[in-house]
Chains A and B, each alone.
Chain A
Amino acid sequence: MFRVIRDLYRNDGRFAFGFTVLVFFVVISFVSLLSPYDMRAWNAVPRDLRPSSKYPLGTNSIGQDIMWQAMVATKNSLLLGVIAATISRVIAIVVGLLSGYKGGLFDRIVMVLTDSFIILPMFPILILIATILRSSLNMVVLGVVIGLFGWAWDARLFRSQILSLKEREFTRTAVFSGLGTFKIVLTEHLPYIIPLVMSTVINNMIWVIGMEVTLSQLGLSNLNTPTIGTMIYWALQYQAIFLERWNWILTPVTICVALILGLYMLSTSISEYLDPRTRLQMIRKG
């Protein structure tokens, strides 16, 4: 595992970039725990200051230090991504593995359901849920809601992998030695698709972070919790564009773009690495 990361870091510029960006934001997330201010408090610092040595990114119109705000926001957005991605991965793995392995009528019914979730327009449905839940929305609830709707595509992907795995010799050996369905799927097949799962985790996080930004703009999240989305929301509420407070509006936008680009590079690099044909080309190139 460590060697793979080191090799990719040396040989693939995209991986190096994405990995560095991700490590940077993770470190920032941990540093944000040391924040000297209460992030919910308004007027903790003087308002509308330009960047200075005391406030490296200035302060905003509700009296918060933008730098610390941004760090906490990064942490929360990453956390939300992890929560939602974990939930949707669990569903995708269970659905994909079981229906791929079981086959037959079970598979057909589950796949029709899955296809429906791929086709249905998720954005309005998420809005419907968020509107009703508005008063009780917090990070975890939002993560669960988004997670419940982001599994279908990847369930199909995992299923297609299982379809080929179950034709292999070792599956038959496992069946003949009396292992149950769950055992075979979890201990024999799951390890094969773990790398693929990792690459979909990243892709899913990109989707979740984007969805959070969008839902926040509609006021459909807990606006007191700093996230990338709520930071943009408050900046726009206080007309940061017209008042040209670029330090306020552009900080979350830049973080969002950098984070998503980093994650995206990481995921393309990993999925190319997982494809044996491109890996062969990499080896040939030296």
Chain B
Amino acid sequence: MLKKYYIPRLIQYFTVLFIGVTLVFVIPRLLPSNPVEHQLSRMMAQGQYLDPSAIQAIRETLEQLYGLKGGIFEQYVDYFKRLFTGDLGPSFTQFPTPVTTLIRQSLPWTLGLLLASLSISWIVGTVLGGIRVSFPRSKLARLIELLIMGVRPIPYYIVALVLLILFAFLWPIFPMSGGYRMGVKPGFNLPFILDLLRHAFLPILSMVIIEIGGWFLQMRNVASNIVEEDYVVYAEASGLPKAKIIFMYIVRNAIIPQITGFALNIGFIFGGALITEIVFAYPGMGYLLYSAILAGDYNLIMGINIFSIVGVSTAMLIVDLIYPLLDPRVRYQ
């Protein structure tokens, strides 16, 4: 069990981390325009006059800052050394605040969106998928299926934008942007929590709308195969109550692949959360990323990248590690 299941998972985990982190290291060095020159040309474009020696001095400082000094191998070792100490460098626009501090501030917002949208969409999608299979002739179930499947392929950005136009502008029942209203004092009290929920409602809704589709589809496909299995036919023939067949025979088995789905979709859903935050100016990591792009804060973009890679692959590892508890087939292999 340990050798067959856990060890390969751990190897996969460290490979993903290594590849991801290496990609972030290699990409800026492979591309024709490097961040230092980019930063310099931005400074010049702002109309500052700099004499050549000053430019040289700035260039060297920037190279030091971005870890671009020395041979490529030296840089690589240095880069990993910094990562292991949790040092992602300072943010360039909010100098000298470390990138990690900025990420830590915005992380709870993103995590909140992710957890809320994931759990709601997972439960609703799974239940609806189960209903669809259990009542194949219901017109209502078919209509719901049509709606869910119609929204599924639409990009996060478009869904969020349409919701914003509909419910924050045309019929302004929800705020257009932000995480809480200016002037409301953050704290553990009812007005603040209500305000928090009101601001989070549209972002979460837009994510749920898209994510339901995947869970629904998978549940439907898996469950509709299980319905045809011999043991379900046998259960029906022996006259078990319908509810028992649905919950103990069909749902219990169909739910297992739904857990694996978590692991594979986390990266995609995380990207969706970032996009949603940008549309609603929600103060999480997506918005931080957006402001970093606008300001050309290259170090912050790198930091967010590394953080996302570590976060997503660790989340996936956790799902993988608890999976044997849920699926007896893996346990007794």
A-B complex is real: yes
Q: Which residues of A contact B (CB under 8 A)?
A: 112-113, 115-125, 127-129, 131-136, 206, 209-211, 213-214, 217-220, 232, 241-242, 249, 253, 256-257, 260-261, 263-264, 268
Q: Which residues from chain B contact A133 at a C-beta distance below 8 Å?
A: 31-33
B271's partner among A113, A121, A220, A257 (CB-CB below 8 A) is A121
Q: Looking across the interface, which residue of chain A has its beta carbon closest to that of B168? A: A241
> Nearest-CB distance from B307 to chain A (Å)?
9
| Size of the chain B interface, CB-CB below 8 angstroms | 55
Q: Chain B nearest CB: distance from A258 CB in Å? A: 10
Are the CB atoms of B289 and A120 closer together than 8 Å? no
What B residues does A220 contact at CB under 8 A?
Answer: 293
Which of A115, A209, A232 is packed against the most chain B CB atoms within 10 Å? A115
User: Which B-chain residue is minimally distant from A264 (CB atoms)?
Assistant: B153
Among candidates B32, B268, B305, residue contacting A125 with C-beta atoms closer than 8 Å:
B305
Whether B150 and A261, one on each chain, are in contact in the complex, defined by CB atoms closer than 8 angstroms, is yes
The answer to whether A119 and B275 touch (CB under 8 A), given A125-B24, A128-B305, A218-B293, is no
User: Which 10 A/B pairs are nearest by Cβ-Cβ distance?
Assistant: A210-B155, A123-B271, A264-B153, A121-B267, A116-B19, A116-B16, A121-B308, A124-B305, A214-B157, A124-B308
**Would you call A253 and B27 a contact (CB within 8 A)?**
no
A–B complex contacts, Cβ < 8 Å, 15 sampled: A115-B12, A116-B20, A119-B313, A120-B312, A123-B274, A129-B27, A132-B31, A132-B33, A132-B298, A210-B154, A213-B158, A218-B278, A241-B165, A257-B154, A260-B155
Q: State the CA gap A241–B296 with chains docked (Å).
A: 27
Assess whether A115 is in contact with B33, with CB atoms less than 8 Å apart. no
- Whether the Cβ atoms of B309 and A120 lie closer than 8 Å is yes
Q: A230 CA to B277 CA in the complex, in Å?
A: 19
- Within 8 Å CB of A241, what residues of B? 164-165, 169
List residues of chain A with CB within 8 A of the CB of B179: none
Report how far A249 CA is from B304 CA in the complex, Å.
Answer: 31
Q: Is the CB of B169 within 8 A of A131?
A: no
Q: Which residues of B contact A127 (CB under 8 A)?
A: 289, 293, 301, 305
Report the separation of the CA atoms of residues A140 and B130 in the bound assembly, to the nearest whole angstrom: 44
Expressed in whole angstroms, the Cα–Cα distance for A261 and B150 within the complex equals 7
Q: How far is the CB of B326 from chain A (nearest CB, A)?
A: 20
- Asked if B313 contacts A219 (CB within 8 A), the reply is no
**Mask for B194-231, Cβ within 8 A of A = 1, else 0?**
00000000000000000000000000000000000000
Indicate if B34 sits at the interface (CB-CB under 8 A).
yes
Q: Of A121, A132, A214, which one neighbours B312 at CB under 8 angstroms? A: A121
Contact (A217, B23) CB under 8 Å given A115-B12, A123-B271, A136-B32: no
* 8 Å CB contact of A256 from B158, B266, B298: B158
Q: Which residues of A contact B12 (CB under 8 A)?
A: 112, 115-116
Q: Given A129-B27, A129-B31, A253-B162, are A206 and B312 neighbors across the interface (CB < 8 Å)?
A: no
B35 at the interface (CB under 8 A from A): yes
Cross-chain contact B153 with A124 (CB below 8 angstroms): no
Which residues of B have CB within 8 Å of A211?
155
Contacts of A206 in B (CB 8 A): 153
Q: Which of A116, A134, A206, A219 has the most CB of B within 10 A?
A: A116
Q: Is the CB of B301 within 8 A of A131?
A: yes
> Residues of A contacting B164 with CB < 8 Å?
241
- B270 at interface, CB cutoff 8 A: yes
Q: Which residue of B lies closest to A249 (CB)?
A: B165
**Assembly CA distance A263 to B150 (angstroms):** 11
Whether the pair B20, A120 counts as a contact (CB closer than 8 A) is yes
Interface string of B148-188 (1 = CB under 8 A from A): 01101111111001101100010000000000000000000
> Given the complex, which residues of A lie within 8 Å of B266, measured CB to CB?
119
Q: Please indicate the chain A residues that have their CB under 8 angstroms from the CB of B31 in the complex.
A: 129, 132-133
Alpha-carbon separation in the docked complex, A112 to B268 (Å): 19
B255 interface residue, CB < 8 Å from A? Answer: no
Provide the residues of chain A in CB contact with B24, threshold 8 Å: 125, 128
Are A116 and B15 in touch, CB under 8 angstroms?
yes
Q: Which residues of A contact B304 (CB under 8 A)?
A: 124
A124–B264 contact, CB under 8 A? no
* CA of A234 to CA of B293, assembled, Å: 17
Min CB distance B133 to A, Å, is: 15
Beta-carbon contact of A253 and B158 below 8 Å:
yes
